[in-house]
Each structure stands twice: as C-alpha cells, then as structure tokens.
A and B are shown apart, each in its own frame.
Chain A
Amino acid sequence: MSEPALAQHTAIGARLSIMMFLEFFLWGAWYVTMGPYLASLKMAGSYIGWAYSLGPIAAIVSPFFLGMVADRFFATERVLATMHLIGGVALLAAPFAMRQHPSLFLAAVLLHMLCYMPTLGLTNTLAFHNMTNQEKQFPLIRVWGTIGWIAANWVISKAQFDTDANMFYVAGGSAILLGVYSFTLPHTPPPARGKAFNIRDALGLDALSLLKEGSFFVFVLCSFLICIPLAAYYSFAGQFVGEVGFREIASTMSFGQMSEIFFMLVMPLCFARLGVKYMLLIGMLAWVVRYGLFSAAADDLVRWMVLGGIILHGICYDFFFVTGFIYVDKKANKNIRGAAQGFLVLVTQGLACSSAPRRRVCWSTTIAPRIPLNWPPRSPH
C-alpha cells in the first residue's frame, strides 16, 4: 500500500473507531443504570421490566425500518445522523418526561430505542462499506464499541450518576455529538437502492427452511428459551448489584464487558478443542452458574459471588452468542446466511427478551408479594 493510501486508510479506520466508540458509549451511559435509577424513584419491578422491554420491541421493528427506508432511499451516514439526533433529544427529554408522568418517560425511552436499534446495523454497514479487508479490520474497529461501553460505565460511576437522572444527559449529549459527527463520515450510498422490499427478507423468514433439521431446531428453541431469563438479567442486575452494596454500579457491571474482550481472544482456542455443542453448553452453564451465584449471594450480601457472576458475562456472551452466530453462519448456505442471522437476532434479542407480559406475571410472584405492584405507574414527584 502506498504511503498516502496507507495514511488515508488509517484515518478512515480512526474515524470509524470513533463512531463505534460513541455508538456504544451512549448506550452504556444509561442502559445499565436505568434500573437502579428507576428503583431509586421507588418504581415497581413491573415498571422496570417494562422499561427494559422497550429495547427488544424496537429490535423487532428495526429490520422493517432498515429494509423499507434506510437501506433503500438515503445515504447511510445521513440516516445514522438523523436517528441519533432524534434519539438524543428523546434521551435528554427523559428526565423531564419522568417529572411529568412515568408513562411519558417510557415513551421517551421507546422513541430513543426506535431510533437507536437500527443504528447498530447502520454502523456495521458503514464500517463494512469503507474497509478494504473486512475480516481483519472490522474486529479492530468494533472493539472500540465495547471500550466505549466500558468507558461510559466508568464515567457514570465516577461522576456518581449511577442512580441519577444526569446519566440521560450524558447519554443524550453523546447521541447528539454522534449525530453531528455522523454527517462527517464517509459517504455510503444506500446498500439496497432499487431493490423491492420483502417482509420475508426483513425478518429472515427464508431461514425457516433450516428448522427442518432437528439439531438446528433444538438450537433455535434453546436459544429462544435461554434468552427469556436473560431479560431478567438486563432488567434487574444493576439494581441487585447496588443493593448488595456496590456503590459504583455501572463500573462494577463493566467487569463483564472486560471479561468479554478477554474471552474473545481465548474463544478460538476453546472452539478448536470443544466444538460447537460443548461451546454452547459451557455458555449455557455460565448463565446457570451466574444466576446461581446471584441467588446464593442474596441473603448474606456476598460480594465476591456477585462479582463472579458479573465476570462470567464473558463466557455467557462469547461462548453462547458468538458461537451461535458462527454455527448459523456455517449451517446456512450463502443465499440465506443473512436471513438466518437476522432470524436468530429476531428470536433471541427480540421475541425472547420482549416477553414482558410473561415476565410481569413471573415477577409478580416474586417481587410483588413484598412490594405493591405499581401499574399504571405513578409520578415520583
């Protein structure tokens, strides 16, 4: 590569890395600590569960928006900018909305998530379009997303915003910054311009043919089932960590993402020795152990058990989700590979995690006997 070309390539890599950093920084600034914030306002478990159901709902809607609008009509960087500007305003408005009525707070979070979820795909599209060697360069750029998430957690904790509405100002401000920054990113034409929209493509329904194979069906079924309790983790782990006695909730939770980076490096070595089945089994076992540690730690406030459960996140995420992604990639032929991945995301991140009514029933049998249910939510002020 000539010197100017190398310099240009490095510059684009740095710009894409900043984009990834901000993309996950703004999410990490509020997502982990929204639960403790709502709990500090004496919101009921059902309300917190609802608040965390909004992301998966947006994840279900997202492929439709991407397929029908973003990928067909507008340059990717402009859609990215617009979504972040609107989503950022929604986050900035969230504390004000809470002061008016808790339902308005949920509306602000929903608006933000509807804007945010499609940007996860858009940032990947933008990065892929502007890289020369995707397999080598993408991980180096994407890791800045995880670093951004960790950095956000630490900023929130060090500023003592773990249960404070200011987290939404940090997140909203970052979203606006990323929105403005996105206008400066390399021009990326809409990847599906001129193509007709197809619901089967958007939801990845072509991958349904893979379900005829017994083991693939078992894999999808178990992925769906294991992600139902995952919603409980996203919704209540932050609150639990705070109540066990960790004051810096967000930075404590970020040890999970740190272990994720470590296990990502270890994973290929394990994959070579264990194969798909045992990799997935270890991933599932890590979930069982994590919930078990949390349960065992609850009565005597055993902090090391809680910390151990958090650090298990690396195994939970890398061994289960990343192995699952690779398994689908290997099973599906080239024509339906994208559809199969989309279908898996829909099943795990969307359908399983958004089973809010079921969760509400589940939580009403555990939390409700001790705390009165609070739906419709009342104003904290």
Chain B
Amino acid sequence: MKDQAAATAGPAAEELLKQASVLQMQAINWQQVWLAPCLFAGAVMAIFFLFFHDRSVKAGEITEEQAAAAGGELDGAP
C-alpha cells in the first residue's frame, strides 16, 4: 500500500516540483541576468585581444609545480 502510494505520489511530486521550478524561473528573468555579464565579458575580451601585445613572457617558462603553487597562493575562493 505504502509502496503503491509512493509510486503514485512520486511522479506527481516530481511534476509539482518541476512546475514550482518553472514558476520560480519565470519570477526572475534569468536569461537577461546572465546575458548582461556575457556581453560585458565579451567586450572585455575583445579589448584585451586588440590591445595586449606583451611578448616578454615566453611560452614554456613554467613548470607544473609553479602553476600549482601559483594557484595555491591566490587569495580567493577556489
């Protein structure tokens, strides 16, 4: 009986959760929320591509250990 109830309630509950999710998504315009930083970051990338011309740091100058150490020393969330 219990199993039968769970089997019946399972898909119904799933559907309700999905509907709640859809309603929440409709409450905030997430598409616009993420589009703005996307375009902004794209513009910054273009500026960097056009104006950064530093060739003083050569490729192949770092080791795996240096890369890992540099990552560890960054003071921020991983």
Contact = CB atoms under 8 A, between A and B. Distances in A.
Interface of A: 24, 27, 31, 45, 59, 62, 117, 120-121, 124, 134-136, 138-139, 141-143, 145-146, 149, 213-216, 218-219, 221-222, 225-226, 228-229, 232-234, 236, 240, 243-245, 257, 260, 264-265, 267-268, 271-277, 280-281, 284-285, 287-288, 291-292, 294-296, 298-299, 301, 317-318, 321-322, 325-327, 329-331, 341, 345, 348-349, 362-363, 366-367, 369-371
A228 B67 contact: no
Among A27, A215, A221, the one with the most B-chain Cβ atoms within 10 Å of its Cβ is: A215
Nearest to A139: B68
Interface string B38-78: 10111011011101111111111111111111111111111
Contacts of A325: 70-71, 73-74
Nearest to A362: B36
B35 interface: yes
B70 A317 contact: no
Nearest to B73: A124
B64 A330 contact: no
Nearest to B47: A222
B32 A366 contact: yes
B8 interface: no
22 contacts: A138-B69, A141-B72, A145-B78, A214-B53, A218-B51, A228-B40, A229-B41, A245-B17, A245-B21, A267-B64, A268-B64, A268-B67, A272-B60, A277-B53, A284-B44, A291-B37, A295-B34, A298-B25, A299-B31, A322-B67, A345-B76, A366-B33
Interface in B1-26: 17-18, 21-22, 24-25
B52 A370 contact: no
A23 to B, nearest CB: 11
Nearest to B32: A366
What 10 pairs across the A-B complex have the smallest Cβ distances? A142-B72, A229-B37, A139-B68, A291-B38, A215-B54, A298-B30, A295-B34, A275-B59, A294-B34, A272-B60
A121 B78 CA distance: 14
Given A232-B33, A295-B31, A281 B57 contact: no
B30 to A, nearest CB: 4
B30 A143 contact: no
From DSSP, what is the main secondary structure of chain A's interface residues? helix
Contacts of B66: 135, 268, 326
A24 B64 CA distance: 23
Contact of B30 (A124, A228, A243): A243
Contact of B48 (A141, A280, A341): A280
A149 to B, nearest CB: 5
Contacts of B28: 45, 243, 366-367, 370-371
Nearest to A32: B77
B69 A134 contact: yes
Given A244-B25, A275-B57, A331-B56, A326 B41 contact: no
Contacts of A317: 71, 78
Contacts of A260: 71, 78
Contact of B62 (A27, A326, A371): A326
Contacts of B59: 271-276
B45 A285 contact: yes
Nearest to B61: A330
A271 B62 contact: yes
Nearest to A279: B59
A228 B64 CA distance: 29
A370 B27 contact: yes
A275 B60 CA distance: 7
Given A139-B65, A276-B54, A329 B44 contact: no
Nearest to A239: B28
